[in-house]
Structure 1
Amino acid sequence: MTPLWMDVCLIVFLATVVSVGSTQAHVRVKRKPGDRPKPGQCLTFNKGGTSGFHYYACCNNINGTDKSCDGRTYQRASTTSYCNSGGTDNGNGVIKAEFACGGCPGQGIVAKKCKPMKIFNIPGTCWLFTKCFKKYCKKRYSVQSSGLNMQVVDPSSTSMPDTCYNTVCETGETPDNCPVDCCFKMNPSQCTWVTNGTCIPEFCDTPSCSESGGTGLFSAKHTSNIGGLVLGLVILSLYMHEYE
């Protein structure tokens, strides 16, 4: 029979491993009013705006040769401005990603590319535009030089077809290279486009959209369950030693 302290140490060790393994890859950082992207970069935000649930993007182009889009808010289904000069965040949103996007010309091209069909362009918390904006910006403009973005293909995103994010799973698109359009083939109960304009869940933009609801093995729900299991093991171990 092992001593009590050894059992407790083992359980604590297992709990630590589980905690490390369940750490989310992307940690959301609350932006302070007045923060802005680095020169030549863009930031996407969520949980901001007047509703507290809006998705939008701001870009810093004040050091570029073309400043025509300075202060423009890149978003869908809203006309409210949440970006001030230099991409300064005025919507008090939560940062999601930072990336280059080719200055005003590149941002304009990508914004036009990601403009949704009218039937899906509804107010609300839809994340589709900012996800599309980020992915196509990173695909087309991933190198920054002297404050200006140079056009270059990002090797990590070349597999995404240019037809992606148009709400139709077309020839050449699969749940792996364009999950946002095709994941309904793997998870039809949650990732199917509907005619009433309701946005599909955000996990439908990941290739794992059919696995555990698309949240992965260590989702917040799973982490909570594992934490409860570890706590139960600790209590059980103490109880058994008390009556031995």
Structure 2
Amino acid sequence: MRVAGKMRGVRARRVLAVSVAGLTAVPAVVLGTGGSAQAASCTASTGPYQKQVEKYLHRPVDGKQSAADCKAIRSFQNTYGVTPAVGYAGTVTWRTMKTLTAQKAAGKNPNKDKKCPTNKGRIACVDLTRQLSWIQDGSKLKFGPVPVRTGRDGYETRTGLKKVYWRNIDHVSSIYHVRMPYAQFFDGGQAFHSVGLKMWNNPGSHGCVNMRDADAKTYWKLLKNGDEVYVYGRKPGT
């Protein structure tokens, strides 16, 4: 009996040690009035990109987390699907802000740098760096640019010149068993398709170019088998 009790004591200490170690890996969180983990609402921790995030959100730039800072950061995170939405000015939040800035700067001239070919007729361009896609006829912009969500680290959307080779308006993935509406495949299992997520939600897809439903529908109407697709750049964080 004493041996059994000693073993239980050892296991209890190990569980406690693991729990304490886990707490050191996440920002400190201010609990809501309920006082439980489920009521967690805001982190009190200052993030590594605190000043940059404060500046982006037009907050007083002092590099120190405040309740008002946290509220503003959480609002941004919820708007753009950044998780966890606890108000922490971390890498993913700042990376999302930089991507948004680049997307806005693209305006109606996303191919200003001429990186997407202009001698191919109708072509769908995918810029991984800015997480943008658009369709052009030669050098004339036909549709977009629109935000997209491309492959995560380890499942990168492959770069290069490709062609749409198969389309299925109500496709279901045989690998991941999820719906892929308006799927237009252009490279192996990689395709344009609609997804029920915000385009800035990290870490990304399994290689496909995720799109908002309305954008995927327009791509479906404008593209056909044999149309060119050009993918270039590198997704932030991969």
TM class by smaller structure:
under 0.3
- TM-score by length of structure 1 reads 0.27
- TM-score by length of structure 2 reads 0.28
